[in-house]
Amino acid sequence: MQGNDSSRLRKKMGASDSRRTPVLLELQGAWPDDRRGIPAFLLRTPIGGPLQRGRRVTILEPITLATLRPVTATWTGSQVDAPVLDVYLHLLHCARHKTIPLGVPHAVKPYSILKGLDLNIGSSEYKQLRTALKVLASVEMQDLRLGALPPQPSGEPVWLLRYSWPEETGATLTVTLPLWLQELATNPDFRLHGSWTWLDWEARKALRGQQLAQWLHGYFSSHADPFPISVARLRELCGSSLADKLKGGSGRLSTFRESLRIALDALALQVGWLGIIEDGTDVITLEKQPSARTLDEFRQAAKARQSRRELKNIKHQLRKKSKKKGAEPATAFTEVAEVKISERRRQALG
**Every domain of the chain and the residues it spans:** 3-223, 310-349
Average pLDDT of the segment spanning 289-297: 87
pLDDT tier for residue 349 given thresholds of 50, 70 and 90: very low
pLDDT tier for residue 5 given thresholds of 50, 70 and 90: very low
pLDDT tier for residue 205 given thresholds of 50, 70 and 90: very high
Average pLDDT of the segment spanning 289-316: 81
The beta-strand segments (E) located in 106-264 are 106-108, 140-146, 158-159, 162-164, 173-176, 196-200, 229-230
3-class DSSP assignment, residue 143: strand
Q: Is the pLDDT of residue 335 over 80?
A: no
Q: Which residue has the higher pLDDT, 17 or 232?
A: 232
Amino acid at position 44, single letter: R
Q: What is the mean pLDDT of the chain?
A: 84
Average pLDDT of the segment spanning 117-132: 96
pLDDT tier for residue 297 given thresholds of 50, 70 and 90: confident
Prediction pTM value: 0.83
The long-range contacts involving 217-223, CB below 8 angstroms and separated by at least 24 positions, are 217/267, 217/271, 218/38, 218/43, 218/48, 218/85, 219/43, 219/44, 220/267, 220/273, 220/275, 220/286, 220/288, 221/43, 221/197, 222/40, 222/41, 222/43, 222/44, 222/197
pLDDT tier for residue 134 given thresholds of 50, 70 and 90: very high
Average pLDDT of the segment spanning 151-168: 87
Average pLDDT of the segment spanning 170-193: 85
Which helix (H) or strand (E) is 234 found in, with range?
helix 231-238
User: By C-alpha distance, which of 157, 133, 164 is closest to 13?
Assistant: 157
